[in-house]
Structure 1
Amino acid sequence: MPRGRKSKLRARENRRQAQEDDLVGTQATVGVGEEFRSASSPLFKGISESSLIAGSCCNPQVLQRATAVSHTEPTYRDPLDETVVLSVYYLLYKYQMKEPITKADMLRNVIQVYRNHFHEILKRASAHMEMVFGLDLKEVDPYRHIYVLVNKLEISYDAILDDVREVPKTGLVMAILGVIFMNGNCATEEQVWQMLNVMGLYAGRKHFIFGEPRKLITKDLVEANYLECRQVPNSDPPRYEFLWGPRAHAETSKMKVLEFMAKIHDTVPTAFASWYEEAVKDEVERARARATAKARTAAMASARSRAMATNSSCPNKV
Structure 2
Amino acid sequence: MPRGQKGKLRTREKRRQARAEAQGLEDVQATAAAAAAAAAGGSPSSDRPQNLPAAGTPSTPEAPEETTSASAVVSGTNSGEGTNRQKEKSSKSSKGTEDSCRDPLNKKVVLLVQFLLQKYQNKEPITKADMLKFVIKNYKYHFNEILERASEHMELTFGVDLKEVDPIRHCYTLVNKLDLTFNGAMTEENIPKTGLLMIVLGVIFMKGNCAAEEDIWEVLNMMGVYAERKHFIYGDPKKVITEDLVELKYLEYRQVANSDPPCYEFLWGPRAHAETSKMKILEFLAKVHDTVPSAFPSWYEEALRDEEERARARAAARVRTAAMVSARSRAIASSSSQAK
TM-score (norm 1): 0.72
Partner residue of 2:56 out of 48, 59, 77: 48
> Given the alignment of the two structures, is residue 122 of structure 1 paired with residue 138 of structure 2, yes or no?
no
Deviations 1:105-127 (A, max 9, x none): 43344323211111210111111
Cα distance in 2 for residues equivalent to 1:145 and 1:108: 14
Deviations 1:278-301 (A, max 9, x none): 111111111221222223223222
After superposition, the Cα gap between the structure-2 partners of 1:300 and 1:94, relative to the gap in structure 1 and judged at 3 Å, is farther
- Larger Cα-atom Rg: 1
Shift of 1:49: 7.2
Letter in 1 for 2:199: A
1:226 is the counterpart of 2:250: yes
Secondary structure at the aligned position of 1:157 is classed as coil
- Residues 309 and 36 of structure 1: CA distance in aligned 2, closer, same or farther (over 3 Å): farther
CA distance in 2, matches of 1:193, 1:203: 7
Per-residue CA deviations over 1:264-286 (Å, capped at 9, x if unaligned) read 33332111100001111111111
Q: 1:251 aligns with which of 259, 263, 275?
A: 275
- The percentage of counterpart residues that share the same residue type is 62
* Alignment of 1:136 onto 2:144: no
Structure 2 equivalent of residue 286 of structure 1: 310
How many residues are paired up? 266
Contact 1:29 1:112 survives alignment (8 Å): no
Query: Aligned letter for 1:34?
Result: Q
TM-score, with normalisation over the residues of structure 2?
A: 0.68
Structure 1 residue 30 displacement after superposition: 3.5
Give distance in 1, aligned partners of 2:165 and 2:330. 42
Provide the C-alpha distance between the structure 2 equivalents of 1:200 and 1:28, rounded to a whole number of angstroms. Answer: 23
Residue by residue, what CA displacement relative to the aligned partner does 1:77-123 show, whole Å, maximum 9, x if unpaired? Answer: 55423321221123223434556644344334432321111121011
Change (3 A) 1:50 1:248: closer
**Which structure's relative contact order is higher, taking Cα pairs within 8 Å and 6+ residues apart?**
2
- CA separation of 1:145/1:251 partners in 2, compared to 1, >3 Å: closer, same or farther? same
> Which residue does the alignment assign to 1:196?
220
1:136-184 deviation digits (Å, cap 9, x = unpaired): 1234455665433221232311233225x42111111100100000010
Distance 1:119-1:113 versus aligned 2 partners, 3 A rule = same
- Structure 2 gap ranges (5+): 1-42, 60-88
Q: Is the 8 A contact 1:152 1:252 kept in 2?
A: no
Long gaps (5+) in structure 1: 1-25, 38-45, 52-59
Deviation at 1:192, TM superposition (A): 0.8
Find the partner of 2:50 among 18, 21, 34.
34
1-structure distance, mates of 2:180, 2:300: 24
8 Å CA contact retained: 2:211, 2:267: yes
In the alignment, residue 35 of structure 1 is paired with which amino acid?
N
- Contact preservation (8 Å) 1:29, 1:110: no
Q: Does 1:103 align with 2:128?
A: yes
